[in-house]
Amino acid sequence: MRTQNGESVLARVVRIFEAFTPEESALTVSEISRRTGLHVATGSRLVAELVSYGFLTRDADRRVRIGMRMWELATRASPTLSLRNAAMPFMEGVHDVVGHHVQLGVLDGDEVLFLERLTAPGAVINYTRIAGRLPLHASSSGLVLLAHGPADLRRRVLDEPLHRYTPNTPATAAGLRAVLAEVRRQGYAYCPGYVHPDALGVAAPVRDARGEVVAALAVIVPNEAGATSVVPVVRTAARGISRALGAPDTSGLRRDPGGSRDGSATAV
């Protein structure tokens, strides 16, 4: 069914869901209408119908949130479910050792999307959250995914302005190319103060049964001397997740995004 201006009802529903953000997970109908450009009466009618199906829910103060039914269906059908199930035991082991943040990220568009995150009281500052996103060039997880991603993805990212979070963030094309080459060479990303000066990220690739990089396992620890001690912990856990996903053992080989196993052919 389409509205008079040619837009489908489904498109309007998608805009309603996209109105919610990690920072603003509860909105009034007026706020939803304003963000989506829908007439208040139209927004109210669609919200009421989505509430009736459990896709949205209302708080006691009548503010609207994403409903449990949406979470249930999305989780049940998610292609990342097996990845999360395979990763969680290893993430818990790493968390026991590191005591700060452990997270699992995947590539989604030109960003890293975080599927899981374990943390602890008093852990170092960390901007990531479950279902949160960060640019690929600034985060350890993103750099792993970008380094092992398609060449056209790297060209696209390198052609765009790169936001500098701190003086350490790679914010030029030449600087980012050098960082990506180092990630491929050493097999992990080591990012001291890239997003926040007090935090340091270490990430390693997770591979599937075809040997393709499908995720990045990362820890966020204080940016201080001795942080390199977490590198073998992260790499070992990432290989463990990869084995659980059926990945071949490539511990003695390097693989570039084009399929070469010696990592020598990296055009971008």
d(CA 184, CA 264): 10
Using one digit for the tens of pLDDT, what is the confidence trace for 108-135? 999 999 999 999 999 999 888 888 899 9
Share of the chain above pLDDT 90, in %: 78
Confidence at residue 148, expressed as pLDDT on a 0 to 100 scale: 97
21, 32 in Cβ contact below 8 A?
Answer: no
Fold observed for domain 9-70:
Arc Repressor Mutant, subunit A (1.10.10)
- Tokens at residue 104, please? 């699992």
* pLDDT, tens digit, 9 for 90 and up, residues 4-30: 566 899 999 999 999 998 789 999 999
Domains in the chain: boundaries: 9-70, 78-244
What is the predicted pLDDT for the residue at 250? 61
Phi, psi of 170 (to 5 degrees): -65, 110
Packing angle between helix 231-244 and helix 81-98, nearest 10 degrees?
150
Tokens 């374990």 correspond to what residue?
Answer: 118
Please spell the DSSP secondary structure of 219-242, one letter per residue: EEEESSTTGGGGHHHHHHHHHHHH
The Cβ of residue 131 has, within 10 Å, a number of other Cβ atoms equal to 11
Q: What is the pLDDT of residues 232-241, one digit of tens each?
A: 999 999 999 9
The amino acid occupying position 20 is F
What radius of gyration do the chain's Cα atoms show? 21
| CATH of region 78-244 | 3.30.450.40
